[in-house]
C-alpha cells in the first residue's frame, strides 16, 4: 500500500492518505512529549513498540466484537487503518486513581475506584484538552446523544476485554485514553492503544510500565514498553518487525 500526502502529524504519529480513499496509513514516531509539549525527547524504538502493541490490542478487540479502524500491520512502524472522521472527544477510562484524577479529587494514587469512571475531554491542544461533560458535547455539536452512548458502551467493552487479558499477564490496567471516529455511518475505535495512552502497572511490584516513566523522569521508558510487549507476546523472543 503506497503512502500519499501527509494528512496530519501529531506528537507520536503521522497519518497519510493512500491510493484508497477509505484507507489511511499511520506511521508511529519515536518522539515523546509530556505536559502539553513542554517536555520533549526522542526515544529510539518507542514507535516500533507502540505499533506492535496497538496491532495486538486492536486485533484482540476485533476478535471480541469491538469494531476498530485497524486493518493490518504493514511494517515495524506502519499500520493500515480505515479512514475516520475523528470525533474531537477523548474518552478516559479509569479503574484506579492516578495522575490528574488523584490531584483533582485528592484521592491517593493507587486507590481502587468503587466503579469504573468515564471522563470526557475536548480534543484541542491549544486549550490543553479541557474536561467536558455530556451537555458540552451536545451544545458544541461534537456528537449526538446516541453517539455518546455508543462511545460509553464501547469504552466499557474495551475495558472489559483488556483488563482481564492484561491481568493474566501480570499487568494492571490502571486507566487509558480512547479516541473514536465515524466511518461509513459507524462509530469505530481509532488512534492507538499503547503505553503512551494507557497506564500499565506490574501486578506484583506496582512498577510503572508506561509513559509515566517519561513524565516523572523514572528512566527506562523504552525498556518498560518492551516489557509490556514481551508479556503480551507471552515471552516470545525475536525482532519486533517479524511479529505481525
Q: Specify the CATH number for the domain of residue 37.
A: 3.30.200.20
**92 and 41 belong to one structural domain:** no
Q: Please, which residues have CB within 8 angstroms of residue 16's CB and are 6 or more apart in sequence? A: 3, 4, 5, 6, 7, 24, 25, 26, 27
Model confidence at 241: pLDDT above 80: no
**138 and 70 belong to one structural domain:** no
pLDDT, one tens digit per residue, over 121-136 is 999 989 999 999 999 9
Is 28 domain-assigned?
Answer: yes
**43 and 128 belong to one structural domain:** no
Model confidence at 145: pLDDT above 50: yes
Model confidence at 160: pLDDT above 80: yes
Q: What is the pLDDT of residue 144?
A: 98
Is 212 domain-assigned?
Answer: no
pLDDT mean across residues, the chain: 95
Is 208 domain-assigned?
Answer: no
Model confidence at 243: pLDDT above 80: no
Laid out side by side, the sheet with 180-183 consists of 85-86, 180-183, 186-189
Is 210 domain-assigned?
Answer: no
Task: Say which range, 38-47, 152-161, 168-177, 187-196, has the weakest mean pLDDT.
Answer: 38-47
**198 and 91 belong to one structural domain:** yes
Q: What is the pLDDT of residue 2?
A: 82
Alpha helices in the chain (DSSP H): 46-63, 99-105, 134-139, 145-167, 212-215, 221-232
What is the CB-side half-sphere exposure of residue 113 using CA atoms within 13 A? 19
Is 214 domain-assigned?
Answer: no
**23 and 34 belong to one structural domain:** yes
Read off the DSSP letter of residue 68: B
pLDDT, one tens digit per residue, over 22-55 is 999 999 999 999 987 778 999 999 999 999 999 9
**118 and 99 belong to one structural domain:** yes
**90 and 198 belong to one structural domain:** yes
**165 and 95 belong to one structural domain:** yes
Model confidence at 238: pLDDT above 90: no
Is 148 domain-assigned?
Answer: yes
d(CA 198, CA 129) in angstroms, rounded, equals 17
Range of the domain at 237: 3-84+222-242
- Greater confidence (241 vs 115) lies with 115
**94 and 194 belong to one structural domain:** yes
Model confidence at 239: pLDDT above 80: no
Read off the DSSP letter of residue 124: -
Is 63 domain-assigned?
Answer: yes
Q: What is the pLDDT of residue 244?
A: 40
Domain count, the chain: 2
Q: Please, which residues have CB within 8 angstroms of residue 192's CB and are 6 or more apart in sequence? A: 12, 13, 26, 28, 50, 54
Is 49 domain-assigned?
Answer: yes
pLDDT, one tens digit per residue, over 46-103 is 999 999 999 999 999 999 999 999 999 999 999 999 999 999 999 999 999 999 999 9
Amino acid at each position: 500500500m503506497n503512502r500519499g500526502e501527509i494528512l496530519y502529524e501529531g506528537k507520536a504519529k503521522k497519518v497519510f492518505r493512500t491510493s484508497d480513499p477509505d484507507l489511511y496509513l499511520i506511521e508511529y514516531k519515536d518522539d515523546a512529549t509530556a505536559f502539553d509539549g513542554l517536555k520533549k525527547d526522542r526515544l529510539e524504538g518507542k514507535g516500533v513498540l507502540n505499533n506492535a502493541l496497538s496491532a495486538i490490542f486492536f486485533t484482540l478487540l476485533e476478535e471480541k466484537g469491538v469494531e476498530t479502524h485497524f486493518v493490518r500491520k504493514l511494517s515495524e512502524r506502519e499500520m493500515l487503518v480505515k479512514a475516520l472522521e475523528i470525533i474531537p472527544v477523548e474518552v478516559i477510562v479509569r479503574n484506579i486513581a492516578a495522575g490528574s484524577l488523584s490531584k483533582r479529587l485528592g484521592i491517593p494514587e493507587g486507590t481502587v475506584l468503587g466503579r469504573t469512571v468515564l471522563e470526557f475531554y475536548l480534543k484541542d491542544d491549544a486549550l490543553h484538552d479541557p474536561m467536558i461533560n455530556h451537555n458540552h458535547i451536545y451544545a458544541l455539536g461534537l456528537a449526538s446523544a446516541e453517539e455518546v452512548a455508543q462511545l460509553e458502551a464501547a469504552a466499557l467493552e474495551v475495558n472489559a476485554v483488556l483488563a482481564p487479558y492484561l491481568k493474566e499477564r501480570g499487568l494492571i490496567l490502571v486507566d487509558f485514553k480512547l479516541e473514536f471516529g465515524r466511518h461509513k455511518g459507524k462509530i469505530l475505535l481509532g488512534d492507538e492503544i499503547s503505553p503512551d495512552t494507557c497506564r500499565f502497572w506490574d501486578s506484583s511490584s506496582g512498577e510503572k510500565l508506561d509513559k509515566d516513566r517519561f513524565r516523572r523522569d523514572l528512566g527506562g521508558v523504552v525498556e518498560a514498553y518492551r516489557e509490556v510487549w514481551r508479556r503480551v507476546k507471552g515471552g516470545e523472543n525475536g525482532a519486533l518487525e517479524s511479529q505481525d
